[in-house]
Amino acid sequence: MQFFTRENDSLLFRQDGETVLITPWGADSLRVRSTILSDFDDRSAALLPQPAVPVVIDIDSQNPRHATLQNGRITADLYVQEWGNALRITYRNQHGKILLQEIPNGGALALKARHFKALPGGSFRLKASFTSNPEEKLYGMGQYQQEIMNLKGCNLELAHRNSQASIPFYVSSLGYGFLWHNAAIGEVHFGSNTTEWIAEATKQLDYWICAGDTPAQIEEAYAQATGKAPMMPEYGLGFWQCKLRYYNQEQVLQVAREYKKRDIPVDVFVIDYYHWLRCGDWSFDPEFFPDPAAMIKELHDMGMETMVSIWPQVDYRSENYEEMKQQGLLVKSDTGVDVQMLFHGNNVFLDATNPRTRAYVWEKCKKNYADLGIRTFWLDEAEPEFTGYDFGTYRYHAGPVAETGNIYPREYARLFYEGQKASGQKDIVNLIRCAWAGSQRYGALVWSGDIMSDYADFRKQICAGIHMGLCGIPWWTTDIGGFHGGVTESGEFRELLVRWFQFGAFCPVMRLHGCRQPGKRLFKQSGEEREGTGADNEIWSFGDDNYPTLVKFIRIRELMRDYTRSLMREAHEKGSPVMRALFYEFPADPACWDITDEYCYGSDILVAPVCHEKARSRKVYLPAGASWVHAGSGQTYEGGQTYEIDAPLETLPVFLREGRQEYLIGKI
């Protein structure tokens, strides 16, 4: 029997209705697909076309059950097992070391490494199973609200929720990267015996794997395959002011003028949700914003860009609802009443996967926002936030949500990015609450969603930011102080906010936001209740004793502007994270693979946030292979050791690689 054939630079396997195709996809990388009784779908959920690379394909003439395909550092070794002629694929690096291996069929167990279970309508429930190396450590997979770095042993939902962004790519300590190239709702189980990827509904298996000698090599290969962020605009490098919510034009200008009066630089001033009348209007409510063009001009004259919130919900009462429904521009419910989110009325979502929807919505936003001078948007609710997250109920232009749901936030970012580009804008960054593979190429700055204002959630964000950087999302941030539960006048909350603010100065973007308590109810002149406004959330709102510290860290952010710009250029040109796991810079130091609460801001600055209540010191591990200078005292420490470092409330432990970024010494 002839199990294997060569097709151009690809290796093809056929057996009993299954076809497996392995194709080089960039240097040291392979794309692997499998179908049952059908041709391959050549559309790509995330991978970009790659230039041809030299490969070596060997179909064993002495043993027809064996073939290999080598692309640089990675080799796929294919063997057809005797029992049932089941194919097993093993991936090795250039030294012959096993990187990843499908499960064997187990002889009489008749296990399937690629298990397709037919569903009504022609799709399959798919499970792909690999053996598990107990020594392996895994990082990436997007943003999950957990204080865990090594994901080995974790069970993860492959779906988006408010504060959860599922990006199915990981970096392995064994020297490879793996992308589950499938936008279906599903699960992954990184078990001690097997790793199992599950797609609830799909037409084919599709994944991408690359080999690299360092995490940086793997990350750069992944960025080449899925895209890189554009260059961060200059206004993305400084401090952003925001709260839930500046509800009228007078309040916006009053706060902005106060920052200007105090000579505190603000790069972006953010106007949050329900500045509109109804979701889906995509325009300012004239009762509260009577002259938005004049407001935007004054902010710009003060050196501040204006950002406005955009929601993808369309209220039944919106001026655009009936036309969008008639034109088929909305997400569709397959069954039941077509209400997809209950919030200030009955709402459905715009269908960002539909190119006609993207054109329609951008036309509205251009007229009502961009033409007034707004260059940056806050794309909230990007998962989208279905009430109940009943993914199997809904359908996109791209297909059933069960099959395609995870692409939504990327296509939502694409709507604005492509609209802005077509309008002639060159420097684009848009804040968004979720992402999938490839979101970075559409100027997506992801923030971590509606998290709680407590130390536990603070610590989770450190892990989340590191994982997101490893998933190709270099632009990432949080609500400084958390979103829910922060009481402006509370001493305990004020201390948390100061600690979070210090961390925020060393995030890719520094943005203050939150739903501060106590809030205030608001009403229209007609008597209709509107979304309320939170308590004050400006840097002078948290006590005279804390104010100098907050000002200091805005000044530090300004001091680092050239350095931060250089990191953004690395992200743009190479795909490098801005916020980096210690092992990214120091892969040869075993201790660096287990640190959950430190990171490198670029290659030169090590940050150790103080993320436990009332702490005035903390242990800091300094990686081997460098000497480190304490940015506060100027004292030098040798790497490869853990130190107890003082951290009074007005500062935090920050270390500089010896001889680098010395302008920060004594400033922190």
Alpha-helical (H) ranges within 560-615 are: 561-574, 582-585
Is residue 383 part of the annotated active site? The answer reads yes
**What tokens were used for 517?**
């308590």
Q: What is the DSSP string of 469-538?
A: HHTT---EE--BT-SBS-BTT-HHHHHHHHHHHHHHTTSSSEEE----BS-EEEE-TTS-EEEEE-S--S
DSSP 653: -
Q: Catalytic one among 157, 319, 427, 450?
A: 450
Q: Which of 267, 305, 383, 597 is catalytic?
A: 383
Concerning whether 450 is annotated as a catalytic residue, the answer is yes
Omega before 384 cis (within 30°)? yes
Of 219, 380, 457, 597, which is the active-site residue? Answer: 380
CA distance readout (Å), 149 to 1, 286, 394: 47, 47, 33
- Per DSSP, 381 falls in state S
Sign of CA pseudo-dihedral 596, 601, 604, 609: negative
The letter for the amino acid at 484 is: H
CB-count burial class (<10 Å; 0-12, 13-18, 19+) for 547:
middle
380 is catalytic: yes
245 preceded by cis ω (within 30°)?
yes
Helix runs in 246-378, H state only: 249-261, 292-301, 321-327, 355-368
Supply φ then ψ for residue 464, to 5 degrees.
Answer: -60, -45
Residue 488: which of 452, 450, 514 has the closest Cα? 514
Q: How far apart are CA 513 and CA 480, in angstroms?
A: 6
- Cα 39 to the center of its chain, rounded Å: 32
DSSP assignment letter at 435 = -
- Max distance between CA atoms of the chain, in angstroms, equals 86
452: which DSSP letter? B
Report the catalytic residues: 380, 383, 450
